[in-house]
Amino acid sequence: MKTILSGLAALCLGATLVTSAWAQEEAHGGHDEANPTHFPIHRPAEMDWSFGGPFGRYDKAQLQRGLKVYKEVCSACHGLRLVSFRTLEELGYSEEQVRALAAEYEVTDGPNADGEMFTRAALPSDHFPSPYPNDEAAAASNNGAAPPDLSLMAKGRTVERGFPRFVFDVFTQYQEGGPDYIHALLTGYDETPPEGMEIPEGTHYNPYFIASKSLAMPKPITDGQVTYDDGAPQTTDQYARDVSAFLMFAAEPHLDERKMIGFRVITFLLLFIGLLWLTKRKVWSGVPH
C-alpha cells in the first residue's frame, strides 16, 4: 500500500510540475519580440544590498548619497510626501544638520491671524514638500502622466517572482524586489528596442518597466551628474544603487530595528523551544503515547 501511495503521489507531483511548466510557457507564449504582452520584458537583476538578509542593515553613507541623488535629480518631479525631515537623523545627520536641510525647503502654512496662507522655511517636523500642488498639475506638466510619489516606491513595485522562485524566497529572505526594480529601471534606458517595435510618441523604451514597453519618464540620470564627496564612483549604476537604497529607507525606515529585534525574538524562541521540549519529555516520560 505504501509503495502504491508514494508512487501515486510522485506521479501526481510529476504531472503537476509538467503541466504547470507547460502552462507557464503557454502564458508567456508568443515570443514576438516586437510586440511583447508580458511586462517587464526583462526581469530585474538581483543586486547585493547591505540591508538584505537576516543581519542586513542600512549603509548610512549610501543613504546619504541616495538622498543627494533624490534632492538633486528626482525631486524635480517626484514627491516624498510621507517622509518627514526629522527621519533623516537616521541617516547619521545631527539635529542641526537636519534643521538646516529642512530650511532649504519652503512649505505653505496658515491661515495666519489675518486669514492668509503664507510660506515659511520647513521645520524638521515637516514632510518633504511635493513638487506639484496636486496630481492634476503634475499630470498637466508632464504630458498627462503624473510622476508618482516615491515614499513607498520600494515596497509598491515588485516584479512577480513566479514558481518556484517564490518558494525559495521564503528561505533566502528575499525582500528586495522593490530596490532591484528601481535600480533596473534607472539603468535600463540604454538598451535599444528590438527591430520593428513601435514606441509611442512621448515615451521612452525601457525593458524593465513593470507595466509596458516604454514609459513617460525620460532617462533621468547620466554619469557624473551628481557630485559625491565621499569618493564613491559617479556612475549611473552607482547613482541608481544609492537612490534605490534611499527609497527603501524612505519606504521602510524601521528596517534596522526590525531585524535587530527579530534576531533577539528568534533566539529567545529557540531557547524557549529547547526548554519546553525538555519539559515535555520529562512530563511524558512515564506515559507511553
Residues engaged in binding another protein (CB under 8 A): 1, 4-5, 8-9, 12-13, 16, 19-20, 22-23, 26-27, 54, 82, 84, 87, 151-152, 155-158, 163, 169-170, 173, 175, 177-178, 211, 251, 253-254, 258-259, 261-263, 265-266, 269-270, 272-273, 276-277, 279-280, 283-284, 286-289
Least distance from another protein to the Cβ atom of residue 29, Å: 8
Q: CB–CB of 252/154 below 8 Å?
A: yes
Residue number with CB closer to another protein (140 or 265)? 265
Residue number with CB closer to another protein (174 or 228)? 174
Nearest partner of 41 among 30, 52, 51, 50, judged by Cα: 30
Opening angle at CA 122, ends 121 and 126, nearest 5: 160
CA distances from 134 to 109, 131, 185 (A): 16, 9, 25
Place of cell 519580440: 33
Residue number with CB closer to another protein (215 or 232)? 215
Least distance from another protein to the Cβ atom of residue 244, Å: 15
CA distance linking residue 253 with residue 284, whole number of Å: 47
Q: CB–CB of 180/10 below 8 Å?
A: no
Least distance from another protein to the Cβ atom of residue 279, Å: 6
Please return the burial class of 272, using the count of CB atoms within 10 Å of its CB with bins 0-12, 13-18 and 19+: exposed
Least distance from another protein to the Cβ atom of residue 48, Å: 17
Residue number with CB closer to another protein (157 or 226)? 157
Least distance from another protein to the Cβ atom of residue 228, Å: 28
Residue number with CB closer to another protein (12 or 222)? 12
